[in-house]
Structure 1
């Protein structure tokens, strides 16, 4: 298969599957929330949530397999598309693909792209909310019964996620388990990345706006 043809087929597939995968991410999050928050509920409800979660994960696995096939790269696909590989393991991190959108903004910074800048900000904000919520669920699952834990309720976990994601870090509640701390490190990194995407895009838009105003006021125009 020709490289350009393979790239085109992969791009068309990604465009078609983008919305269904976004919906799958939300369904995955909903199923996982039930598994964590209603762990002592009716077994039928718990099993349904587990089935929904596994089904959505299989959908991501299928998407990964199709793009691996269409790329024609073979095993090299895992390395060149490392973010997609991470998403396969942790589907809730799929919205971190906002990095690709931000890269597109940077490449076109010489042109007025207000709608694209607005898209980055909205996408990053939504990513922050979903990542914060999912991290709160994951940490609560690990910490609620751990000895010496300060995160005993889901409310405590949400408060911790908000302070961590915004890089404030009050320190009044913090994970004590190894898995909880690993989740905290990932959330810290995500918080910095999303904050950088928003501030960078907004700053770029302001610079472009002021530059256009200066050009209009220039005597030579």
Structure 2
């Protein structure tokens, strides 16, 4: 069995468990951030779960790197996986990989390429916005001079940032909050560009097909319809 076959089998076996682990990670982090009255014992337990799920992703990345046999080239070809390992709150984005894995098991995807790009971008925006809102809220709520003092403020800020509107009524003041903001601005531009480009391509393809279905002006069918 070659390296590609072993790597493919490993990904097929671990995709669903790792997605569940990523959802568990985000859930534990959300509870710790949003429930300020949570007993310390529960906080410690949730923190232990988040570190355990983080360790699972580190192990998975190391195993896939080893099975690939590609050396440092593996990092360049799987940059998103490396980012997900470094930034734990992006791990729920693995849902995109899970859906893609399910589609590959079918003879033909249920959705067209354009629809899949739009669906992936929409799902990524929701997950990225929620994770960013949690992180910024945790960093900003107790900071001096903060304008983001509730989770609702943080969600509003995340929406305006991802959509590149940027009203400026609430802005992060901490270094961590501003770092997350910069990352979300870049992510919002990339996702918006993907959706806009895919939708434009779909429109062009649709109009081209409709034009090809029309009979030529000098054909008998076109003349008869006059």
Q: What is the TM-score of this pair, normalised by structure 2? A: 0.81
Deviating more after overlay: 153-162 vs 205-214: 205-214
Instruction: Give unpaired runs (5+ residues) of structure 1.
Output: 102-112
Tell whether 2:51 aligns with 1:54. yes
More displaced stretch, 206-215 vs 141-150: 206-215
Q: 1:205 to 1:20 in 2, by over 3 A?
A: farther
The 2-side partners of 1:139 and 1:188 are apart by: 14
- Structure 2 residue 184 is matched with structure 1 residue 187: yes
Offset at 1:72?
0.4
Which residues in structure 2 correspond to 1:68-107 (within 5 Å)?
Answer: 68-94=65-91, 95=93
Distance 1:89 1:48 in 2: 22
**Which residue matches 2:21?**
24
User: After TM superposition, which residue ranges in structure 1, 4 or more long, deviate above 4 angstroms?
Assistant: 96-99
Whole-Å separation in 2 of the counterparts to 1:65 and 1:188: 30
Alpha carbons 2:32, 2:38 under 8 Å: kept: no
Measured after TM superposition, the shift of residue 8 of structure 1 is: 3.6
- Give the 3 Å change call, closer, same or farther, for CA 11–218 of structure 1 in structure 2: farther
State how far apart, in whole Å, the 1-side matches of 2:162 and 2:43 are.
29
Q: Which residues in structure 2 correspond to 1:29-40 (within 5 Å)?
A: 29-40=26-37
Whether contact under 8 Å (1:29, 1:134) holds in the other structure is: yes
5 Å-filtered alignment, 1:120-131, equals 120-131=117-128
Q: Which moved more, 1:169-178 or 1:20-29?
A: 20-29
What's 1:209 paired with?
206
The match for 2:156 is 159
Once residues 9 and 121 of structure 2 are traced to their aligned partners in structure 1, the CA distance between those partners, rounded to angstroms, is 24
Tell me the residue number matched to 1:174: 171
> Is 1:116 matched with 2:97?
no
Please say if 1:13 is aligned against 2:10: yes
> Any unmatched runs of 5+ in structure 2?
100-109, 220-226
Instruction: Confirm or deny: 8 A CA contact 2:19 2:95 kept in the other structure.
Output: no
Q: 1:201 and 1:17, CA in 2 relative to 1: closer, same or farther beyond 3 A?
A: farther
TM-score of the superposition, structure 1-length normalised?
0.83
The structure number with the bigger radius of gyration is 2
Instruction: Name the counterpart of 1:137.
Output: 134
Change (3 A) 1:210 1:71: same
Q: Distance in 1 between matches of 2:202 and 2:5?
A: 30
Shift of 1:21: 2.7
Cα 1:12–1:120, aligned 2, differ >3 Å: closer, same or farther? farther
Match of 1:118, SS state, is: helix
